[in-house]
Structures are given as structure tokens and as C-alpha cells.
Amino acid sequence: MSLLVMGALFYVGIDWAASSHAVCVLDQTGRRVAAFSIEHSAAGFTSLVRGLSRLATVDRIAVAIERPDGRLVDILLEAGFAVVPVSPNTIKTWRESEAGSGAKSDAGDAYVIADYLRCRAARLDPVEPYSAATVALRTVVRTRDDLVATRVAATNQLAALLDAHWPGAKAIFADVESPIALAFLTRYPTAAHAKGLGAKRLEAFCREHGYSGKRSGEVLLARLRAAPPGTTDPTVRAAVAEAVLTMVATLKVLGETLKGLGQAYDGPDAVAALAGVTAVTKESGKHRAVHSRWACNKRLRVAITTFADNGRHASPWAARVHAEARARGHDHPHAVRVLARAWIRVIWRCWIDQVPYDPGRHGNARRLQPSWG
């Protein structure tokens, strides 16, 4: 793959920033051909691709950028450029070794990135374009993360509104974003709407919405009445009711959307390293230390460790892996990382074979549960 980079006529360095990106283009001799900035927008990305395409065919241009992914990387890959992600720490070290003055600027960093790409071309490999399936999966995962963050914010806003104007509605059910709590707020958005609510009617409401709690209607109603009184001013009450109904509708839409949502690496070990669930060994002279891997894809680490921690409650095999790790002296987070590594190997095989997970075909699971075989 490095041949794609070594055979380039032009080397492009892009210094990533929040709203705009500095770009520097060098030829094979290191001469600066162009230097400019682009906005972080569709128009800016289009102008970059158009400008670079005027220099040579896309297969003779290599691009280095301080990001392994993102919309700009996707667009460059879709256009056919060889894209090389570079570590900011690597570029910092390269800049300090090449520029003794210590001067730093966005334009200067773009030059350093381009020069690093030109000088190290033989050792650098471009990223592989994502397959359609991976792009779709990544889109779903990122969208879900954004939706969860939005739902948490909306839930906190609703809880704050209820604390100030309708405390009883927050006290009656344990989770303000649960389906039954949202249904209750839809029917009773303020204390005035629930003024005539009695125990029997509340019990009927709970039955209608599949309430699974053990508290009787009398207990729930006592919770409701024990909370401080809500807003009594008619004007404020009307505004509160409208705000509550709007937030409830938002949370319902987010919940339904989340319900509907259901980089190529050479093996599961590479994925485990990317997720930060493998240990890092450092040796120097007589010193040897093993510690957790902090440089990783944080989204992936949260996703796989959350999956592993939750999965051990449903999978006897996963529970055993976690328990054995704990028995070896690992604390809970370490044991979860051990389990996550094991799950990554399983998920990798499912992904490669394009088949869903089947405990009957999983050797370790079958040994634990012979009846599955």
C-alpha cells in the first residue's frame, strides 16, 4: 500500500481545526506548490478536491491529515486520493526536530505534515476506504450516540421543569423518561390536571399502560400528594403544560428513533487495541511495566465495554469469563476489558462470516452449556 504514497507527484498536508483547515502542497523535491485554507463546510471540501485534482490525477496525489476518520476524510477517499492519517504527537516530534525555533502556526503545521508525508512515504500506508456496510454501521452508531445525548439533555430539562412547577409528577414514578411516566405527563401535564385523580383511577391508568411496579394506587397517590404543590398561577400553568407536553413528545420521538436504529483491520487483536481493551507493555533496561491502553477510539471502547458488562448478565459463558478474571485478582473494570477482548473475537468471526452469533457454534459456550450442542 505504501507504493501508492511513494509514487505520488504531490504531497498534501492538512492541519485539522474546528472551523477551517490549513492546507499545504509540496512536490517531490519538497518545493511548496500551494498553501491555502478551506472552510469546514461542503463548499470548502468541494473546493479542496477540485483544486487538488487540477494538479494531477488523484492516484498521483497523497494526502496526510491528523484524523483517521470524519467527513473530510470520507470525501477525500471517495474522490480516490490516498489518505494517510498521522498522529498529532508524531507531527509534534517531527516539527520540533525539523524546526529549531519552536515556532508554530496552522500554515506551518500543514507544511510539516506534508513534509513528513513526503519524507516518510516508504513507511506509511493509506487508509482503506470503508465498505458500504461499515459506513452504514458507523452512521447508525454515531447517530445513536447523538440521539442518546439529546435524550439525556431533554430528560434533564424535563426533570428540572417538574422540580420547579410539578414535583408530584416526578415523584410518582422512579424514571421520568419511562413510558408510563411520559404517558402520565401527557394526561396530567400540571397539578391542576390531576386535581381530581383518585387511587382507583390511578390504578386503572397503571393497568392500561402496563405498570410493572409493586406499589398500589394508594401508595402512588400518596407519593404524588406528598410532593410540594405545583404552580397555581393560570398563566404560568398554561405555559408549563405546553412545555411539558413538548418535552414529552420530544422524548417519545427520540425513544422510538433509538428503538428503530438497530476502517478495515487485519484481525480481532487490532480491533481490541483500537478499543483500548488490550494492555500496553513498556520495557526499558531492567524496567518492565504493563498498564491500560489510553490511546484508543473512545467511542468504540465505551461501546464494547458496555456491551460486555451488560452481556455477562445474559450469557453464562460471558459471566464465567468475567468471574474467572475477578478470581485472578483483576478489579471489575479490568475484568470487563478481558471479557470485551473475548467478545471482540466472537464479533469479528460473526462479521467475517456474515452470520449472527449462535451459542451452539461457539466452542467455549458449548463447553459450558453442553445442551446447546
Domains of the chain: 2-129 (3.30.420.10), 137-260 (1.10.287), 268-372 (no CATH)
Residue 373 confidence (pLDDT): 37
Q: Identify the CA nearest to 210 among candidates 235, 180, 187, 181.
A: 180
Tell me which residue has cell 460473526: 350
Give residue-wise pLDDT tens across range 286-302.
656 555 655 566 777 78
Q: Helices in 188-297 by DSSP H: which ranges?
A: 199-208, 217-226, 234-260, 268-274
- What pLDDT sits at residue 329? 92
Per-residue pLDDT tens for 224-264? Answer: 888 887 777 888 888 988 988 888 888 888 777 666 554 44
Closest CA to 293 of 268, 266, 270, 275: 275
User: Regarding beta strands 32-39 and 20-27, do their DSSP bridges make them parallel or antiparallel, or are they unpaired?
Assistant: antiparallel
Classified as helix, coil or strand, 83 is strand
* Separation between Cα atoms, residue 4 and residue 290, nearest integer Å: 36
What's the confidence (pLDDT) of residue 304? Answer: 83
Task: Say what percent of the chain tops pLDDT 70.
Answer: 83
Q: What are phi and psi of 328, to 5 degrees?
A: -80, 0
Note the pTM of the prediction, 2 decimals. 0.53
What letters, b where the CB count within 10 A reaches 16 and e where it falls short, cover 99-113? eeeeeeebebbbbbb
Query: In one letter, which amino acid is 178?
Result: S
d(CA 361, CA 369): 11
pLDDT digit string, tens, across residues 127-140: 877 767 667 666 76
Q: How far apart are CA 310 and CA 335, in angstroms?
A: 13
Residue 11 has pLDDT above 90, yes or no: yes
Whose cell is 476506504? That residue is 129
Query: What is the per-residue pLDDT across 190-209, written as a single tens digit (0 to 9) for each?
Result: 888 988 889 999 999 998 98
Burial 318-334 (b: 16+ CB within 10 A, else e): bebbbeebeeeeeeeeb
* Choice between 342 and 147, residue whose per-residue pLDDT is larger: 342
Does 184 or 122 have the greater pLDDT score? Answer: 184
CB crowding 58-97: b at 16 or more within 10 Å, else e: eeebbbbbbeebeebbbbbbebebbbbbbeeeebeebbee
User: What does the pLDDT read at residue 38?
Assistant: 93
Q: What pLDDT score was predicted for residue 290?
A: 55
List of E strands, 47-170: 61-65, 82-85
As a whole number, mean pLDDT of residues 173-178 equals 88
| pLDDT number for residue 62 | 92
Nearest alpha-carbon partner for 115 in 185, 33, 56, 36: 33
Q: What is the mean pLDDT of the chain?
A: 82
